[in-house]
Amino acid sequence: MKVLFLFFSFFFVFTSNAQVVTSTNIKRTNGSLKKENLDDAIIRCLYERKQVFTNNGNRDFAIDTLTLELGKQYSLFYDENKLYRNSLFNDFFHSTYPELKVINGNSKAEIFLELRSQGGRYIEKSAAGESARLYKDRKNKMITSIDYEGTLYAFKLTEKIPPQQWEIMNDTLTIMGYLCQKAVSTFRGRNHIAWFTSEIPVNDGPWKLYGLPGLI
């Protein structure tokens, strides 16, 4: 029996003039593939996600740093560190070992057998980190999840998810210099506690959580 608990800790925020583009669609134009621009990010927030696992009585932790990029209507929630690690990994091994074949850890057994039959050297790529990217359309209350599992599989799911029904409490807390207020809600069968600040008046937050008069 595996039990999973998630904790998000907000620890850094800054406004940026850089035009960070988020996209959920790729269109073919004149024979080439181009991304469709959805919005320009004006705020970037970093969250620490701590997952507490209880597996057959053994307690363990997994900690990731996840990024939330916020535009006027859309936001993108993803693991920037994983993208960076993947980019470094590919650049290094493709330039250093051009003959090297990279095998993703989630490949099926028959894929391994086929690659081995071709000869050459192999290395298994780490699957650590969050591979999914969540695009939130606050205006239309739509959330699109895109997950690339290596180079073999890609998944896209678009859901109609209205803002959670939050109960705002009287409790307050100062986080990173921002005065925050406590709110509670039940979503997807779990009870959620969020701290939001009206000093950053953006109706958004980590993962699929939003609907408060300030950033979670």
Q: What pLDDT is stored for residue 147 in this prediction?
A: 86
Nearest to 142 by CA among 123, 121, 161: 161
* Main-chain phi, psi angles of 114, to 5 degrees: -65, -40
* Main-chain phi, psi angles of 197, to 5 degrees: -125, 125
Q: What pLDDT is stored for residue 209 in this prediction?
A: 97
Q: How far is CA 135 from the centre of its chain?
A: 9
**Residue 184 near residue 166, CB atoms below 8 Å:** yes
Tokens 């990994």, located at residue: 89
pTM check: above 0.75: no
Which sign, positive or negative, has the C-alpha torsion 178, 179, 181, 182?
Answer: positive
Domain residue limits, the chain: 80-128, 164-199
Q: What pLDDT is stored for residue 103 in this prediction?
A: 47
Q: How does pLDDT run across 94-146, given as a tens digit for each residue?
A: 565 555 454 444 444 544 455 555 554 444 444 567 788 899 999 999 999 98
- How many helices (H) does the chain have, and how many strands (E)? 2, 14
Q: Residue 54 and residue 158: Cα distance in Å, rounded?
A: 30
- Computed on alpha carbons and rounded to an integer, the radius of gyration of the chain in Å comes to 20
Q: Is the pLDDT of residue 4 over 50?
A: no
Q: Give 197's DSSP letter.
A: B
